[in-house]
Chain A
Amino acid sequence: MRTITILGLLAAGLGWPTSAVADNPIPRTARDSECFICHAGTGDARAPKIDLVAYRASVHALHGCISCHGDVEDVSIAHDKEDEDLRPVDCAHCHLDERVLAEFEARAPAPAGSERGHKVDLVRIIREFDQSVHSTKSVQFTCARCHDPHRIRFGMTPDESLEHNQACLRCHGSELEFRTFAHRAPPDLDAAHQWLPNRDLHWRSVRCVDCHTNSEGVVGSHRILPKAQALSKCESCHQEASVLKFKTYRYAHAVEQEKYGFMNAAILNEAYVIGATRNQTLDLIGMSLATLTFLGILGHALLRTAAALVRRKRGIGPGGPHP
């Protein structure tokens, strides 16, 4: 079982503090500005940086830095040596604990329209994550590797929380980052996707996880598949009645709905998935029948013209629709 799960279960069931905020000895917000000197400013070039504007707008800003980074013992400008090796932040600590979430919800209610509010289906996510290559091939992989907690907002779509595919590319597009987790060079993305027609177009409009997660089950699976199991057949999305195709269609609409609201999303959406209404056999029958109809009409018209000419020649008169 992975770190994330153990910590999560401990937090949920074994009497760990139910509120990381309330039980932290250091006042919640008092020291944030001090943190920002190095972590958002120029105080120390080596300090990992956050985007302060995005953080201020995020749901987590309210809680303050040390709510999550609770094992920082010394928040003075120079950290203690013991603080250098901090524990990875455990999202499950709060997100698996209904009481903590209820407390957050009371303090900062989710705005209308954000259905999920503070809730994250972490039990399912952990179950999927444990089968994911991120879990089996790497250690110390946390939620925050992909979903930057300093940017998370209410009503954020999965696509936004992954910054489309940027979250994937942070590691898969950087040799340094990739080596940290996989201890080898990253695969060449260009070469690996060479087979994909209109590759750049796919990258712009399709998420990596659309093909690289299991296609069965819920939208937004966290079970990243080994490379060999990723979808590579065009018809998985573009032709047959695939679950993925309809899943993508539903997903695309869910995203637009969060963005525009229920009604506007319906009209303004750009979420049409090519091939979502397409079935080859049906198309063949439909087009054949339409063509036959047209040819039938054409034949009928030609026959009428010919018949009218014959009648005129024989002096029967043009004939006509009226008595």
Chain B
Amino acid sequence: MKKPTPMFPGWLRAWHWVNAFLFLALVATGFALHYGEAGAGGYFRWAVLGHNATGVACTLAYVFYLASMVWTGHWRQYVPRRPFFRRAARQVRYYLSDIFQGGHHPFPATVVSRFNPLQQVSYIGAVFLMFPVQIGTGLLLLFPLSVPEKVASLPGLLPVAIGHSVTAYVFTMFLIVHVYLAITVSEPHTGIRAMLFGDRKKQGPEGAEGQGPALR
């Protein structure tokens, strides 16, 4: 018998949890730096070191994710399905109304289509826009001498620092929503257990056969 495909392949789970750990460390150390006080004591030094090291690790993990995405064809998960807006509206309705009435997920996750339309949009934003901005600005802050000292009479590092902060705030919001949805809203076969163990047993029937999502 053919071994069932896990909802989340091993490399994805590995990256997810490594990234999750790094994210938490980056948020914690980032806030410590950002709101740091000079008199705060010895933690500050470690926050700087920790933020730098985890930032670089997160960058490497991101490169691994991109490469694996290309290698395994996982990138197809990010291609929106038609009719996109109608599907997205349906998902919005689910979160704002159906969910309170005991309604069901309009687009149950399958192996080939794990993301619902809203998930897809937010993940596209996170992976292909916010990650590059955060990593790019972070690297520039690591090598500040590579940034022009002044751009249009303002310090060249200013837009870099602002970009890093704005993206960090958006990521923090992303994290709050992501954790909430993962813990309380996700379907059993895409929840935290599935992300931890792959969840071969509980996957939906469509997933095993590799069909597209049910459009209802």
Is A27 an interface residue when CB atoms closer than 8 A count as contact?
no
Tell me if B's interface is mostly helix, strand, loop or mixed. Answer: helix
Nearest chain A CB to B172's CB is how many angstroms away?
5
Within 8 A of B (CB), among A189-208: 197-198, 201-202, 205
Q: Is the CB of A303 within 8 A of B176?
A: no
Q: Please state if A293 and B100 are interface contacts (CB–CB under 8 Å).
A: no
A252 shortest CB reach to chain B, Å: 9
Most buried by B among A254, A257, A268, A322: A322
**Inter-subunit contact A267/B177 (CB<8 Å):** no
**A155 CB to closest chain B CB, in angstroms?**
15
A322-B34 contact in complex given A257-B145, A276-B157, A297-B177, C-beta closer than 8 Å:
no
Size bracket of the B interface? 35 or more
Q: Is the CB of A246 within 8 A of B156?
A: yes
Q: Are A279 and B165 in contact (CB under 8 A)?
A: yes
Check A201 against B39 for contact (C-beta < 8 Å): yes
Contact of B49 among A268, A277, A316 (CB under 8 A): A268
When A266-B142, A274-B38, A279-B162 are in contact, do A290 and B187 touch as well, CB less than 8 Å? no
CA distance A276 to B157 in the complex (A): 9
| Residues of A near any B CB (own CB < 8 A) | 197-198, 201-202, 205, 241-243, 245-247, 249-250, 253-254, 257, 262, 266-272, 274, 276-279, 282-283, 285-287, 289-290, 293-294, 297, 300-301, 303-304, 307-308, 311, 316-323
| 25 A–B contacts, CB within 8 A, in A order | A205-B38, A242-B155, A243-B155, A246-B156, A249-B157, A250-B144, A250-B147, A250-B157, A267-B56, A268-B49, A272-B44, A272-B48, A274-B44, A277-B33, A277-B165, A289-B169, A290-B172, A293-B173, A297-B177, A303-B100, A304-B100, A320-B102, A321-B188, A322-B187, A323-B108
Given contacts A243-B155, A277-B161, 20 further A-B pairs with CB under 8 A are: A198-B39, A201-B39, A249-B144, A250-B144, A266-B143, A267-B49, A272-B33, A274-B33, A278-B161, A279-B162, A282-B169, A283-B34, A286-B165, A289-B173, A293-B176, A297-B177, A307-B100, A321-B187, A322-B104, A323-B108
- Enumerate chain B interface residues (CB-CB to A < 8 A): 33-39, 44-45, 48-49, 51-53, 56, 95, 99-105, 108, 141-145, 147, 149-150, 154-158, 161-162, 164-166, 168-169, 172-173, 176-177, 180, 184-188
